[in-house]
Amino acid sequence: MMRPMDPRRLLPPPPDQSFASDNAAGVSPEVMDALAASNAGSALAYGDDQWTRRAEELLREAFDAPVRSYHCWGGTGANVVGLASILRPWQAVICADTAHIVVDECGAPARFSGATVIPVGTDDGKLTPEHLAPWLAWQGVEHHPQPAVVSITQSTEMGTLYSVEEIGTICDAAHRNGMLVHLDGARIANALVATGADLATMVRDTGVDVMTLGLTKDGAMFGETVVFVRPELDADARFVRKQAGQLVSKSRFVAVQVVALLADDLWLRNARHANEMASSLAEELAGTPGVTIDRAPEVNSVFARVPVAKTEQLQDWSFFWTWDRSAGLVRWMTSFATGRSDVERFADGIRAILAMGGPIASLP
Ligand SMILES: Cc1ncc(COP(=O)(O)O)c(C=O)c1O
């Protein structure tokens, strides 16, 4: 008797690089080489080393300002260090309700700062001065946590981008009302290349006070850097970092990654490539029956709607995250490591699965 044909045979092999997230990628080869090179010999711990000094210098050059930088183990830790250094327990930080600091950090910024996190609903993950307005009435009233910091994410968790002008506008509104601005820049490099702005223009000149400068999603193995754009705000940072467990003993291995990424603009080349791959994926899938891409990608993610009944089959073939399962909203993310062949294979597989009638039979 003939065995029924296994429909999965019709599928291309899944792509080598995952579209689940940019932190599913490995390490940029140049960063790996730099890590290996810095492994020779000994260096004093906790940041008293030549790579940390060089990284500080490169960051001051990149911002064209006397910024102060603090390397941390990861992004949650860096947000904790930045926020807890500028917040007191009776204060509050306002952010979009999609912000990583409120959704994806297990309450760490609230726990370490003691401050209240106020999540505000937005259409696109971006705060405007209008979002701040209702909370200003709380200022000076002893019964309410005191709004003292506005936290924005660039590029946002929704794959959107603030323009330089929009960041300036929110910073002005915050400062006018006695608040500071924190920027979660886990994907700042993607935003810089997408807008053509540099750090001085996008961050220093707009008035951002402190930021997390993301490395991991852009080719580092681990580590992120808190940058106090206003250096006078860093008075508590060393103590907060140590208490939060974010002071890296062999800190040279974070610093050397900063050096490898910033020197020669590797971080921007990596981010540009990641953004281009997201655009290619959106172009490949344009017009595919069953796939709706409402917004052209602005950075390195594609938010698409696919038939809810097909989501699991697609994920089984090549995993990615759903954003709103009931609405079929999914996120496909690219990185410095995504190749054209990955984009083509991923698009081929999606087309093939969506073109299949029923669910895919499981193999015995
Ligand atoms: C916007 C944003 N901020 C911060 C982080 C850092 O998270 P982690 O603690 O996993 O390094 C992430 C990682 O997904 C992120 O997307």
Best substitution site from 100, 112, 225 to test ligand 1's pocket, by max atoms within 8 Å of Cβ? 100
Ligand 1 atom with the shortest distance to the CA of 105: 9
CA–CA gap between residue 289 and residue 357 (Å, rounded): 13
CA 264 to ligand 1 centroid distance, Å: 25
Q: Which among 55, 330, 22, 18 has a CA at the least distance from the CA of 190?
A: 22
CA 212 to ligand 1 centroid distance, Å: 10
Q: Which residues pair with 211 in a beta bridge?
A: 183, 227
The mean pLDDT value for 320-335 works out to 96
Q: Which residues pair with 87 in a beta bridge?
A: none
Show me where the domains of the chain are located. Answer: 17-26+267-355, 29-266
CA–CA gap between residue 160 and residue 103 (Å, rounded): 17
CA 203 to ligand 1 centroid distance, Å: 19
CA–CA gap between residue 227 and residue 67 (Å, rounded): 6
Instruction: Dump pLDDT digits (tens) for 212-248.
Output: 999 999 999 999 999 999 999 999 999 999 999 999 9
Does the pLDDT at position 293 exceed 90? yes
pLDDT of residue 202: 98
CA 58 to ligand 1 centroid distance, Å: 23
CA–CA gap between residue 289 and residue 301 (Å, rounded): 20
CA 243 to ligand 1 centroid distance, Å: 20
CA 101 to ligand 1 centroid distance, Å: 8
CA distances from 288 to 182, 292, 353 (A): 40, 8, 11
Ligand 1 atom with the shortest distance to the CA of 156: 1
Task: Measure CA 37 to chain center.
Answer: 28
Best substitution site from 161, 184, 221, 248 to test ligand 1's pocket, by max atoms within 8 Å of Cβ? 184
CA 76 to ligand 1 centroid distance, Å: 6
Residue of minimum CA distance from atom 7 in ligand 1: 75
Q: Which residues pair with 333 in a beta bridge?
A: 301
CA 218 to ligand 1 centroid distance, Å: 12
- Per-residue tokens: 113: 């700062």
Instruction: Dump pLDDT digits (tens) for 342-354.
Output: 999 999 999 999 9
Out of 4-8, 39-43, 90-94, 147-151, pick the least confident: 4-8
Does the pLDDT at position 12 exceed 60? yes
Best substitution site from 21, 80, 104 to test ligand 1's pocket, by max atoms within 8 Å of Cβ? 104
Ligand 1 atom with the shortest distance to the CA of 79: 4
Confidence of residue 203 (pLDDT cuts 50, 70, 90): very high
Under CATH, to which class is 17-26+267-355 assigned?
alpha beta
CA 1 to ligand 1 centroid distance, Å: 54
Does the pLDDT at position 110 exceed 60? yes
Provide the H-helix boundaries in the chain: 29-38, 50-63, 75-86, 100-103, 108-113, 129-136, 164-176, 188-195, 199, 237-243, 252-262, 266-285, 308-317, 340-355
Ligand 1 atom with the shortest distance to the CA of 217: 13
What angle in degrees, to the nearest 10, is found between the helix axes of 29-38 and 252-262? 140
Confidence of residue 10 (pLDDT cuts 50, 70, 90): confident
The mean pLDDT value for 317-333 works out to 96
- The mean of the pLDDT values for the chain is 95
Does the pLDDT at position 361 exceed 70? no
Instruction: Dump pLDDT digits (tens) for 276-291.
Output: 999 999 999 999 999 9
Residues 76, 184: contact at Cβ < 8 Å?
A: no
Out of 5-9, 76-80, 311-315, pick the least confident: 5-9
The mean pLDDT value for 253-269 works out to 97
CA–CA gap between residue 59 and residue 261 (Å, rounded): 11
3-state secondary structure of 331: strand
Best substitution site from 21, 72, 76 to test ligand 1's pocket, by max atoms within 8 Å of Cβ? 76
Q: CB under 6 Å to ligand 1: residues? A: 74-76, 100, 153, 157, 184, 186, 216
Maximal CA-CA distance, the chain: 81
pLDDT of residue 97: 98
pLDDT of residue 11: 87
235: amino acid identity, one letter: A
pLDDT of residue 358: 59
pLDDT of residue 8: 56
Residue with tokens 């002893």: 142
CA 289 to ligand 1 centroid distance, Å: 33
pLDDT of residue 362: 35
Q: Which residues pair with 92 in a beta bridge?
A: 116, 147
Percent of the chain with pLDDT over 70: 96
CA–CA gap between residue 80 and residue 102 (Å, rounded): 11
Which CATH number, 3.20.20.70, 3.40.640.10, 3.30.450.40, 3.40.50.620, labels domain 29-266?
3.40.640.10
pLDDT of residue 5: 47
